[in-house]
Amino acid sequence: MRVNKLLAATVLAASALAMPYTNASAAINSMNLGAKYDATKANISFKIYSSRASRIELSVYASAYGGQEVARYVLTKDASNIWSTNAVVSALQSLGVTGPVYYGYRAWGPNWPYSTSWTKGSSAGFISDVDAAGNRFNPNKLLTDPYALEISHDPTNAANADGTVFATGATYRNIDSGTKASKGIVLAADAQSIGTKPTRAQKDDIVYEVHVRGLTMNDTSIAAAYRGTYKGAGLKAAYLASLGVTAVEFLPVQETQNDTNDVIPNTDAGDNYWGYMTLNYFAPDRRFAYNKAAGGPTAEFKAMVKAFHDQGIKVYIDTVYNHTGEGGSWGGTDGLTVYNLYSFRGLDNPTYYSLTSDKQQSWDNTGVGGNYNTKNTVAQNLIVDSLAYWKNTLGVDGFRFDLASVLGNTCEHGCFNFDKMDTNNALNRIVRDLTPRPAAGGSGVDLIAEPWAIGGNSYQVGGFPTGWSEWNGIFRDTLRKSQNKMGTEAITPGQLATRFSGSADLYQDDGRQPWQSVNFMVAHDGFTLKDLYSCNGKSNLQAWPYGPSDGGEDNNISWDQNSVTQDQRKAARNGMAFTMLSAGTPMMTGGDEFLRGLNCNNNPYNLDSSANWLNYTLTADQSNFKAFSQRLIAFRKAHPALRPLNFYSSVDNNGNVMEQLRWFKPDGNVIDAGYFGDANNRAMAYRIDGSEFGDTAAAIYVAYNAWSGPVNFTLPWPGTGKTWYRVMDTSNWNEGANTVVAPGSEALIGGENTVYSVNGRAVLLLIAK
């Protein structure tokens, strides 16, 4: 009976009509890949790419897990290497598909040609796991559509802890994965609102990097069922708005292997909390959805985006287009020949992955699996199509790209070379096809790179093409060294000045602007703000819930401030002040506004635990730091002089360069080249002229004393008829809820030549009015 149904379905597929499709842009999914209903929802078209397959079959399932397929279709290939077929919905319903349509593919190719005697779990037709061209076809492995809009479950999960089901090699190649493999889910188009997208210029943003689950899992103000979900995150939009955040940047929310996180409670066994192992680039991760039914994650994600948009907050997502969740090789009976086949690798391995020169292994610049083949046009298409889907359909406003140097690779196999001038690399392709937001604001997308990877010429801070912003790791490291390595690291006033003023040395030479420097002291990857100043080194092998975690950077440029807790809080205030008072786009990490700590674990990627979730029950010190953060953010937002569109200089009508920012020694004299270049000088100040920015402050003055003892600063001219007022002094004597005062409550300090003593390791902020 099953055989007859399968044959009937195959015949019906041949007569189904192709679905009409209209692209918003010719560059976006021009091959119409994926599974799509037609306008009447009577037919479904299935299209998938493979340049090397010799046969591809579609399997359709009535359930996601455990059952056999109810229909199989043989796809046909066109001249563009697109394999396609169509299914009539009524025919599928007659076969028992009365709910969601689940589907996957089986593929044959040169290393495993099709044999009429092949049955699931057999070796009929097998030649090798990999051939000289790098093909790794295996029809025993059901493959997920790279363009699926949702997937049913992760390969390993509570019901299936055996990941070898998806592996190749002599021991595993004949294990059929069909009943256990992840399936794509066919979704119908919808008109659900994502609200009104903010058009704010990036220079005016405050970015808040956070894990969507960790944002609310510990939040008792949210109903228990919604904690850790997209719905719960949307309920925190008002909180982030009250903090002053204008862009929330979520750690990866594209489908990743994390269904096993809760299999063994209260341990890190098999956990993938951060999510940097992407299984599918279109599907919102189901685990973060309160409604996990087919279509639920997509609808809930869009509702969350609308909640943030309604508060004027942009939504960024962290994307991982440098490697996938299929991972690299792993040991087994065949050693390095053992690879997982979930999706890309089993469809067209040399198209989707960079390989070694002999095409037998993956090329790895990530340390966590083989490089995605970002040089290949088809692989690039998937990146662009995915980004466009998240932007246009799901409402995302910007993207952060993990290990983005891999997207600048200019060769496919046996090599790695970053070259921003190659117009055909993925970085330039993304800028061409997804219009970056204009500098002054408007429609478009914000593109932010993590500008490094592993090996080769992949450390590229300041080396990305026009259109890209970057995480400025040099800003982070320079200021950490100034705070935490005095006497052991030589940091000059000139180096500090360059970072405070937007890092012109990194961005100005290629036409980029200060706001394209994303300034941060900490990120998810490393210590929290509290731990940066409380820990002399990492401590990752702790007991649950603070560990154990492997890996982690050994050189953290951290210091526990001699274990003086008040000095630790002062150092954290300085770290927050550096980001909020510097030219660039400031980024903070979730919980840093109230000094979240992780007991010195600097690599908690695997800890889906209460220690790694934000805890909103605050001590008095934490409440004070939150007030400090909130008011400092508000100060930045109130003063456009801190958010320059261009580097701090302008030209008047006569061609004269007008200095908008001037640097001062503590004695009140302008800093000269000799002072700038001497690392023995550890105190400096700068004055920004507010008049050219339309600022309510005639001038802003910031003094930084990196010495351990107090330094007297002689104040410069505040402007005609103006006087200096204190907004903030991070010194211990000024600790409390009013370290940053509310507008209108500033303390009168005095005029030009007034002497102000700045305590050791403290930052002073004044305004002239």
**Residues labelled as active-site residues:** 402, 450
Closest CA to 449 of 390, 516, 373: 516
CA torsion through residues 298, 304, 306, 308, sign = negative
Cβ(684)–Cβ(750) below 8 Å: no
Helix (H) or strand (E) holding 449: strand 446-449
The string of DSSP letters for 593-653 reads GGT---TT-S--TT--SGGGS------HHHHHHHHHHHHHHHHHHH-GGGS-SS-S-EE-T
The tokens describing 280, both together, are: 């599918």
What crossing angle do the helices spanning 344-352 and 377-392 adopt, rounded to 10°?
120
The tokens describing 580, both together, are: 């909020």
Residues 6+ apart with CB under 8 A from 95: 5, 9, 60, 62, 70, 71
Q: CA-CA distance, 170 to 176, in Å (whole number)?
A: 13
Closest CA to 135 of 51, 78, 31: 51
Q: CA-CA distance, 211 to 162, in Å (whole number)?
A: 28
385 burial (CB, 10 Å; 0-12 / 13-18 / 19+) is: buried
The separation between CA 756 and the C-alpha centre of its own chain, rounded to angstroms, equals 42
Cβ(249)–Cβ(206) below 8 Å: no
The string of DSSP letters for 123-169 reads -TT---SS-TT-----TTS-B--TT-SEES--SSBTTB--GGGGB-S
Cβ(422)–Cβ(375) below 8 Å: no
